[in-house]
Amino acid sequence: MAIQKLLEQIEQQAKNCNYTKVTEVRLRLGCWESIETRDLAEAFDRLKGNGLLENARLIVDKNKTQAKCRLCGNIFEVVYLKNRCKKCGSNYMEFIGDRGVRLEGIDGIEKGT
C-alpha cells in the first residue's frame, strides 16, 4: 500500500515538472524501517508499469541508526547494539532516528525534449 502511495507522489511530481518519462527515482528509508532495499526495488519494478515509470531507475538511500548519549549528549552512529559513546564511553544511550519511506526527488524527460 505504501508503494502505491509513493507511485502517486512520483506521478504528481512528474506532472508538476512536465515530465513525459521519469528516468530516476530517489528514495530515503528511515533507519527504523524494516523493509529491505531489495524488496522495495522488486515492488517498485512490479508496480511501475509500462507508462511514465517504465525505464525508471530506483535509488534507495537508508539513514544510519544513531543514538544520543544520555550522559554527555553526544550523537553518534550505532554500528552494533553494544556500542558506547565515542566521547565519554558510556553505554547509557537513547536511539534516535526516523521511520518510513520518503521521496527525495525524481529526474525525467520534459515534454518537447
Are residues 25 and 80 located together in one domain of the fold?
A: no
Q: Is 65 exposed, middle or buried (CB count within 10 Å of its CB: 0-12, 13-18, 19+)?
A: middle
Domain with 72, as residue range(s), is 64-97
Amino acid at 81: L
Are residues 48 and 3 located together in one domain of the fold?
A: yes
What per-residue confidence (pLDDT) applies to 82? 80
Task: Note the pLDDT tens digit of each residue in 11-54.
Answer: 999 999 999 999 999 999 888 787 888 888 898 888 888 889 99
We report the CATH number of the domain holding residue 59 as 3.30.2320.50
